[in-house]
Amino acid sequence: MTQDTFPIRRIDHIRFYVGNARQSAFFYRHLLGFSVSQFHGLETGLKHEVDYLVEQNKIRFLFSAPVRPGHPIAEQLAVHGDHVQDIAFEVDDVDWSFNTAVARGATPAREPFTLSDEQGEVRLASIKIYGDTIHTFINRDKFKGHFLPRFVSREEPGVPAGLIEVDHCVGNVELGAMNHWVQWYQDVLGFTQLMSFDDKDISTEYTALMSKVMSGGDGRVKFPINEPAEGKKKSQIDEFLEFFGGPGVQHIALRTDDIVGTVSELRRRGLQFLRVPKTYYDDLPARVGKIDEDLEELQDLGVLVDRDDEGYLLQIFSKPITDRPTLFFEIIERKGAKSFGKGNFKALFEAIEREQAVRGTL
């Protein structure tokens, strides 16, 4: 199998550049149930930046913000707003991963380097992907600490909302760039293409997009890549590219084993989700057959259902979590299905278009 040509243990963490990391940590703790667990900043000797690590089960998000003028993070924030800057992979051998990726055509972002303190050392290196986004390779086999050297623990537990791990992470790229990145993930990181959708699958009266799903790390890492297709009006991908200032990460899907419990709790805490019309549920039993969940409960929450050859999945999408209509979250529960909810695309995109119309960007 081609994915064995580039061993990746898992997504280690996702790093966000934000304007105010303290407030982001608070938001993720109180709204999404993350615990604030690690900190590095002025008080720990970091002079120009502050970093907060938040965790829930296997999910780790790192929020980084500049604390002085003229910081490179501030320049990227001016272009993109708060955004996902790095999807970091834990690997067996950072130097091998970096050198192999670069030999296969990746552009270096940071040459291999070591961070150390009295707890040991961590090796890191990064390569560029679309836009200003990067993949960092990280190995902490020689480190006894929790996350990275010089970070200190911070005990601010959240009340978990049942979020378990990152299921997939979606990138939006420019028209014509999707196949370039599909090829890049195949050539550089040995990923395979799981599935593809074209504008016949994913179109509404007004907008269309194309998508290919890349998978690596023995199936543990799944990255759909979207590009806009010609439609009558501006597609949600075009809207993203305009407001983001180029290609970037559009949504992160977080997996739960109890979507009804998770979404009820997130709604109660104030996270806003996209709504589909009530008519979506009329033909649902005919489309997906028998499911374990109570249909009325799903309808109350706005949870969507789709079936494939292997089972079914339940999913729901948040509204954008930033000022710009860019980054949002998907909550997903898998009951055997390994796909991405193709049967929901139309209802979903019509819901997004209603939001776009309100923003005046359709």
Cβ proximity to Fe ion: between 51 and 333 the closer is 333
Which range in 40-48, 68-76, 236-244, 326-334 contacts Fe ion by CB under 5 A? 326-334
Cβ proximity to Fe ion: between 51 and 330 the closer is: 330
360 phi and psi angles, rounded to 5 deg? 75, 25
Is the Cβ–Cβ distance between 335 and 311 less than 8 Å? yes
Q: Does 330 bind Fe ion (CB under 5 A)?
A: yes
As given in the structure block, the two tokens for residue 76 are 């990227």
Least Cβ distance, residue 39 to Fe ion (angstroms): 31
Site for Fe ion in 82-121 (CB under 5 A): none
Window contacting Fe ion (CB under 5 A); options: 30-38, 104-112, 132-140, 325-333: 325-333
Residues 200-239: x where in contact with Fe ion by CB under 5 A, - otherwise, as a string: ----------------------------------------
For 102, 105, 133, 221, 295, the CA distances from 108, given in Å and listed in that order, are 7, 9, 12, 21, 49
Rounded distance between C-alpha atoms, residue 305 and residue 227, angstroms: 24
Q: Distance between CA 157 and CA 272 in Å, rounded?
A: 23
The smaller minimum CB distance to Fe ion, of residues 253 and 266, is found at 253
Residues making up the chain, counted from first to last: 362
Nearer to Fe ion, 330 or 353 (CB): 330
Binding residue count for Fe ion, defined by CB under 5 A: 2
333 binding Fe ion? (CB under 5 A): no
**Cα–Cα distance for residue pair 30/25, rounded to 1 Å:** 9
Nearest to Fe ion of 61, 328 (CB atom): 328
Site for Fe ion in 299-318 (CB under 5 A): none
Please report how close the Cβ of residue 125 comes to Fe ion at its closest, in angstroms.
28
CB contact burial 225-241 (16+ within 10 A = b; e otherwise): bbbbbebeebbbbbbbb
Q: Give the CA radius of gyration of the chain.
A: 20
Q: How far is CA 107 from CA 156, 160, 342, in A?
A: 38, 38, 33
Q: For Fe ion, give the closer residue by CB, 37 or 226.
A: 226
d(CA 2, CA 189): 9
Name the token pair of 141: 């086999």
Listing DSSP states for 151-212 in one string gives -EEEEE-----SEEEEEEEEEE--TT-HHHHHHHHHHHH--EEEEEE-TTTSB-SS-EEEEE
Nearest residue (CB) to Fe ion, 73 versus 252: 252
Task: Provide, rounded to whole angstroms, the least separation between the CB of residue 184 and Fe ion.
Answer: 20
Of residues 77 and 352, the one with the C-beta less far from Fe ion:
352
Using CB under 5 A as the binding rule, the residues of this chain from 236 to 265 that contact Fe ion are 253
Closest approach of Fe ion to the CB of residue 170, in Å: 5
Pick the closer one to Fe ion by CB: 188 or 253.
253
For residue 352, the minimal CB distance to Fe ion (Å) is: 13
Q: How far is the CB of 200 from Fe ion (least distance, A)?
A: 19
The least distance separating Fe ion from the CB of residue 228, rounded to whole angstroms, comes to 17
User: Contact, 33 vs 161, CB < 8 A?
Assistant: yes
- Residue 23 CB, shortest distance to Fe ion, in Å, is 26
Cβ at position 168, least distance to Fe ion in Å: 6
Give residues in contact with Fe ion (CB under 5 A).
253, 330
